[in-house]
Structure 1
Amino acid sequence: MTYRRTLSNGVRVVGEEIPSMRSVSIGVWIATGSRYENIHNNGISHFLEHMLFKGTERRTAREIAEVFDGIGGQVNAFTSKEYTCYYAKVLDEHFGLAVETLSDMLFHSKFAPEEIEKEKKVVIEEIRMYEDEPDELVMDVLAEGVYSGHPLGYTILGLEDNLRAFSRNDIQAYVSDRYKPSNMVVAVAGNISEEQAIAEVEQYFSTARAHTEGDEPQLTVPTFTRGLSVRQKDIEQAHICLAAAGLPAGHEDLYALVLLNNALGNSTSSRLFQEVREDRGLAYSVFSFHTAYKDCGMFGIYTGTSPEHVAEVMSIIDRICEDVAEHGLTEEELRKGKEQVKGSMMLSLESTSSRMSRLGKNELVLGREVTLDETLRGIQNVTAADVQRVARAILTQRFALAAVGPIDEGAFAKYQ
């Protein structure tokens, strides 16, 4: 059974009772990320995520870690372009302690100057580590090119110069601006009753007040820029990513796009994986993906291959995309895809963490619950004509291309 409540201060609470489990997952979702930053403070959302683990008025950083280690629980966080989430998974008997500790981190962090300076070094090392992972780096190069000048093109980790300049006042001002109750969703899933969950969350979250409650910024829809973005790097492989404009979160054609993505390159039986990797042995990694933001989306194809195989791999990708756009999927691909997507979703829901994430993300991004029945019905109702219509709309676009590695730009002349 799911539920939804709004506390008096505007914090939304969504949850699901699962009596068959012994665990409970709790997530605090904040409507902030690199999309809400500017060129001067890019990286502050991610840096703040780190800082909330570095000590509060009641607990040191070590004591925060010991709270969860001492009860056999897990605690972590992540930052994306549009939201940040702090989450924990514990035995049901420790739910209250987990909620209290998360609230302590969110509302009573000290942001000690010495911890700020220490964590700057940690995040700078994280940025440098990311630079050494070309399959990840190419995604940032792609976003920067496609969303040129728009915050969706900023990296989540931020820039080293920005990090070095962040002060305690900068961090506190950002907390006041973005970490206000109206931007918060607390999601709960597991063996905890609605009454107990609401009581615990209300006890620790209802008194939260932001220093400022100004109007929310108006997000601008980015222009999708098509072109070639290259980062030369002395490595063994060429890492390539193609992209076309996709669909926003909540779009009625997303179910058809999920099935298109699954058949094209998001499964081991997909066309790209089977031909590029299994049949020809030209790449270890090749896949397609779709990222849905609040008001736009990106459909992409990634592969990493040796420089001498680039032309052949690109030819295969072009041919497969053209074929799917012209002829759509076979009935067998559509049937199999529906079963794969439904099966994957149902298996993921055996985890309280997955259920919590589903509830929290849907509430924060869409402002409503998307029920399991609604999703299953949406997948099942997709027709071959629906998939082909979406395929034609997306795969016949002129693609943008990003590449990292020993790149011969002449091989990508048509993308310039």
Structure 2
Amino acid sequence: MSYRHQLSCGIRVVGEEIPFLRSVAIGIWVGTGSRFETRQNNGVSHFLEHMFFKGTQRYSAKALAEVFDGLGGQVNAFTSKEYTCFYSRVLDEHFSVAVDTLADMIQNSTFAAEEIDKERRVVIEEIRMYEDTPDELVMDMLAQGVYGEHPLGYTILGEEENLRNFSRNDLVDYIAEHYRPEDIVISVAGNVSRERAIEVLEQTFHPSNSGSTRTGAIVSPKFSTSVSVRSKDIEQVHVALASPGLPAGHEDMFALILLNNALGNNPSSRLFQEIREERGMAYSVFSYHSSYRDCGMFGIYAGTSPENVEEVLRLIGECVESFAVDGMTEHELEKGKEQLKGSMMLGLESTSSRMSRLGKNELLLGRMIPIEETLQAIERVTVSDILRVAKTVLKHPFAVSAVGPIEESMIVSGMQWAPVS
């Protein structure tokens, strides 16, 4: 049974009782990420994610880790462009302890100077690790090329210079502005009753920054069809392409998901079969879609040898053009629907997946979406819907980024099918 509730402090709670399990997943979803930063504080959302684990008034950093280890549970966090999530999965009998500890982290972290200094070094090493990971780097370059100085173009990790300058006051001020009750959703899924969940959450969450306001409003970005290339002495060339996608909650979202699955998101997809299975020109090749509150990005990635780059780009172009002109067959559509429904339903056997679904839908869309509604939306998609979306998404000129031993002229040559500026 699913439920929705608002705590007396203003935080929204969404949950699902699953009495036949022995575990429970808890997520604290905060509506802030790199999109809500400035160039001067880019990276602060992610740095805060780290710092919430570095000690509270009750626990040291080591003691926090020992609490969850002692419960036999899992705890972690991640930061994205538009939200930050702190989550835990424990046995149902440890629900109250896990919630109490997470609440203590969010509300009572001390941000001790020595911990800030240590953790800034850790995150700087994380930034450098990504610089040495070309398939990650090329995605950051793509976002920067597409969105430019708009915050969606910022990296989630931020810049080294910013990390070196963050102070305790910077962290406290950011929390006051972006960790407001109205920006927080707590999702719970597993073997805990609604009554018990709300009772424990009411006892533990008491945000102190109620009534604060955010500065500025969300501004939609412009999509730039740029070309960005970084020469790097590595074995492969990593290439990423992008065109405008759809925002979260768009009525054509399931048509786009089905399009994505058929084009490049599974082993039977056209890109995978054509480039990897038939030609052997890549180990990793796929398409994907990223949705934000007011826009989206449809992307394609491939990693290949320098001598194959132009041919791989040409083959990507052929697959894209074919899809944009002819769409997909009824057989492909029905197969895609079964794959999508199967993937979704299998994922719902995990308390963590259910918790994530509840939290993201409430945070980004402002409502709980019943499984039945999702299944019906998938079934309603037709081949004409797919073709209409393909003509919108795949006919747009693509932006492109590349990392490896390559020159920009080779990328431009291989992209003749998709004019770029």
Q: Distance in 2 between matches of 1:117 and 1:141?
A: 28
Report the residue type matching 1:332 in the other structure: H
Partner in structure 2 of residue 9 of structure 1: 9
Moved over 3 A (4+): none
> Does the aligned pair in 1 maintain the 2:258–2:337 contact within 8 Å?
yes
Q: Secondary structure at the match of 1:263?
A: helix
Q: Secondary structure at the match of 2:233?
A: coil
Q: Secondary structure at the match of 2:392?
A: helix
Question: Does structure 1 residue 292 correspond to structure 2 residue 291?
Answer: yes
Partner in structure 2 of residue 358 of structure 1: 357
Q: Distance in 2 between matches of 1:270 and 1:189?
A: 33
> Does the aligned pair in 2 maintain the 1:9–1:182 contact within 8 Å?
no
Partner in structure 2 of residue 67 of structure 1: 67
Q: Secondary structure at the match of 2:71?
A: coil
> Does the aligned pair in 2 maintain the 1:131–1:137 contact within 8 Å?
yes
Q: Identify unmatched segments of 5+ residues in structure 1.
A: none
Give TM-score scaled by structure 1 length.
0.99
Identity in percent = 63
Report the residue type matching 2:147 in the other structure: Y
Q: Distance in 2 between matches of 1:119 and 1:408?
A: 37
Partner in structure 1 of residue 188 of structure 2: 188
Q: Identify unmatched segments of 5+ residues in structure 2.
A: 413-418
> Does the aligned pair in 2 maintain the 1:176–1:210 contact within 8 Å?
yes
Report the residue type matching 1:312 in the other structure: E
> Does the aligned pair in 2 maintain the 1:177–1:212 contact within 8 Å?
no
1:7 Cα deviation after fit: 1.4
Q: Secondary structure at the match of 2:8?
A: coil
Partner in structure 2 of residue 118 of structure 1: 118
Q: Distance in 1 between matches of 2:180 and 2:55?
A: 20
**Larger displacement relative to structure 2 (399-408 or 244-253):** 399-408
1:232 Cα deviation after fit: 1.3
1:105 Cα deviation after fit: 0.1
Q: Distance in 1 between matches of 2:214 and 2:256?
A: 34
Q: Distance in 2 between matches of 1:110 and 1:178?
A: 18
The two structures, once aligned, show a CA RMSD in angstroms of: 0.9
Question: Does structure 1 residue 108 correspond to structure 2 residue 113?
Answer: no
- Within the candidate set 411, 414, 420, 1:415 is matched to 420
Partner in structure 2 of residue 319 of structure 1: 318
> Does the aligned pair in 1 maintain the 2:8–2:202 contact within 8 Å?
no
> Does the aligned pair in 2 maintain the 1:9–1:209 contact within 8 Å?
no
Q: Distance in 2 between matches of 1:176 and 1:215?
A: 9
User: 1:218-257 alignment to 2 at 5 Å?
Assistant: 218-257=217-256
Q: Secondary structure at the match of 1:300?
A: strand
Q: Are residues 378 and 306 of structure 1, via their aligned partners in 2, closer, same or farther at CA, if it must alter by over 3 Å?
A: same
1:208 Cα deviation after fit: 1.6
Q: Distance in 1 between matches of 2:369 and 2:139?
A: 29
> Does the aligned pair in 2 maintain the 1:176–1:212 contact within 8 Å?
no
> Does the aligned pair in 2 maintain the 1:15–1:356 contact within 8 Å?
yes
How big is each residue's C-alpha offset from its partner over 1:69-90, in whole Å with a ceiling of 9 and x where there is no partner? Answer: 1010000000000000000000
Partner in structure 2 of residue 259 of structure 1: 258
1:8 Cα deviation after fit: 2.1
Q: Distance in 1 between matches of 2:291 and 2:274?
A: 27
Partner in structure 1 of residue 143 of structure 2: 143
Question: Does structure 1 residue 168 correspond to structure 2 residue 168?
Answer: yes
1:215 Cα deviation after fit: 4.5
Report the residue type matching 1:358 in the other structure: R
Give TM-score scaled by structure 2 length.
0.97
Q: Secondary structure at the match of 2:372?
A: helix
Partner in structure 1 of residue 134 of structure 2: 134
> Does the aligned pair in 1 maintain the 2:309–2:411 contact within 8 Å?
no
1:415 Cα deviation after fit: 2.9
How big is each residue's C-alpha offset from its partner over 1:240-294, in whole Å with a ceiling of 9 and x where there is no partner? Answer: 0110000000000001000000000000000000010001000000000000000
Q: Secondary structure at the match of 2:239?
A: strand
Partner in structure 1 of residue 94 of structure 2: 94
Q: Distance in 1 between matches of 2:223 and 2:50?
A: 31
Report the residue type matching 2:376 in the other structure: R
Q: Distance in 1 between matches of 2:110 and 2:319?
A: 54
Partner in structure 1 of residue 416 of structure 2: none
1:141 Cα deviation after fit: 0.1
> Does the aligned pair in 1 maintain the 2:276–2:283 contact within 8 Å?
yes
